[in-house]
Structure 1
Amino acid sequence: MSNHALAERHRLAELLTAAGPDAPTLCAGWTTRDLAAHLVIRERRADAAPGIRVGALAGWTRRVQAGYAERPYEELVRLFRAGPPVYSLFALPGADEAANTVEYFVHAEDVARAGENWTAQPVPPGRAEALWRRLPLLARFEAGRHSPVRLTLARPDGRSLTVGPAGAPTVQLTGEPAELVLFAFGRGARTTLTVDGPPDAVEALRHVLPLPRP
């Protein structure tokens, strides 16, 4: 059985190592050091992890993350590469694969695509399908709830899904599953997606979610 989360964990660790601690990422305001600290506390500090999503707890999470960011960068990458400790929820059977396949793929691309001369790399077919299976829920709760237009997310092979407000003008984004996942997570400006739709609808979408330039 494929373990896509484990493969993406190791890919992300290699990218972090190659980039060094002070490289930019697509996470606004974060260097690779900040990203590495985030990855470590997410699975090793249960007291701080909720603040990643819950605004009321974000202050404590920022303080814990800042403390970890002061550790040697090589230690942070090593801890992340080693995987979750036995006391972590992510160590439960199946939890790493379910929770981290998309998380680590997106963060790996946050490092890989941060420079101006980035190139989209091929994604193994099995991993592309795993990303596609997770896209409907992600699109609905990430991109779909912010979009002022109806979104059709389409693959080159013709498969598609639609999210967003019913009755609104439709904008279609076409590309590989990996590119669609990155769009859903707000990284659309650094994708190879093709965007089609009424110009006014495309511009309305661009005001709330990043899109690739024509």
Structure 2
Amino acid sequence: MSMAQRERQALVEAMAQAGPDAPTLCGEWTARDLAAHLVVRERRPDAAPGIMLKPFAGYLDRVQAKVTKRPFPQLLDEVRSGPPFYLRPVDSLMNLTEMFVHHEDVRRAAPGWEPRTLAPADEDRLWKVLTGLARMSYRKSPVTIALATPDGRRTVARQVGERTVVLAGPPSELLLHAFGRNEVRLEATGAAEDVELVHALDRSV
């Protein structure tokens, strides 16, 4: 089973345990809203473009509002069953970060959360993803940003001027930060005002 598939199953279990009205790290979305988003993303190709393209956002909102009204167990079953057959060959590529990040969105919205300890191979997969998207995530930074792991890996996410902030931690925590989440366990070095700027950045991909 791929990491994307494992994270999908774990995400569904987390949503089931939390309940449909549980908060997430996705703004005002509840677990029900998040489940509906995942269903629309995979099963409504007519509406999914609205996730990225503003001209289609209104239609997406109307479709998602209808999907959200489905029974919560039905939504979870649809997420659990995975993408349609024609998307399954690219499931690992298309859904690894989606399932991992949203799994943590549910976990870390609950008080007392703790980071998971992932297998080294899973951290390696997330590092590869991170190095591919870091420049986009931190493109608005007014200072240089470097990302570093405890085992010595390092990548420069943004090069601008001499002021530098280094974010250090496992690839999983760095990836969550790159996706705009501040509920992470990282060490940040640099001037205090620069670190604050980095955490406040719009890091949307």
Give the TM-score taking structure 1 as reference length.
Answer: 0.90
The 2-side partners of 1:77 and 1:178 are apart by: 25
- Counterpart selection for 1:127 from 122, 147, 150: 122
Whichever residue aligns with residue 121 of structure 1, its letter is R
State the identity as a percent. Answer: 46
Match of 1:166 among 160, 165, 173: 160
Report the counterpart of residue 21 of structure 2 in structure 1: 22
Shift of 1:204: 2.4
Q: Distance in 2 between matches of 1:72 and 1:179?
A: 33
Corresponding residue for residue 111 of structure 1? 106
Q: Conserved in 1, the CA contact under 8 Å of 2:168 and 2:186?
A: yes
Question: Is the Cα contact below 8 Å between 1:148 and 1:168 reproduced in 2?
Answer: no
8 Å Cα contact 1:148-1:165 kept in structure 2: no
Runs of 4+ in 1 over 4 A off after TM superposition: none
Classify the secondary structure of the residue corresponding to 1:153: strand
Name the count of aligned residue pairs. Answer: 203
Shift in Å at residue 180 of structure 1? 0.3
Alpha-carbon deviations, 1:83-138, whole Å to 9, x = none? 1122x5x22x2x10001111100000000000221111111221111000110122
Q: Deviation of residue 168 (structure 1)? A: 4.4
Q: Which ranges in structure 1 are unaligned for 5 or more consecutive residues?
A: none
Q: Which residue of 2 aligns with 1:60?
A: 59
Please say if residues 131 and 181 of structure 1, whose CA atoms lie closer than 8 Å, have aligned partners that are also in contact: yes
The correspondence of residues 1-214 of structure 1 with structure 2, limited to 5 A, is 3-86=2-85, 88=86, 90-91=87-88, 93=89, 95-142=90-137, 144-187=138-181, 189-208=182-201
**Letter matched to residue 93 of structure 2:** A
Paired letter, 2:79: F
- In structure 1, C-alpha distance between the alignment counterparts of 2:68 and 2:193, rounded to whole Å: 43
Unpaired segments of 5 or more residues in structure 2?
none
Cα-to-partner distance string for 1:59-87 (whole Å, 9 max, x where unaligned): 1111111110000000000011011122x
The one-character-per-residue Cα deviations of 1:155-175 (angstroms, maximum 9, x if unpaired) are: 001111012142241100100
Deviation at residue 10 of structure 1 after TM alignment: 0.6
Write the distance in 1 (CA, Å) between the matches of 2:39 and 2:162. 41
Secondary structure of 2:10's match?
helix
Give the counterpart letter for 2:21 in structure 1. D
Counterpart of 1:154, as a letter, is A
Give the SS at the match of 2:26. Answer: coil
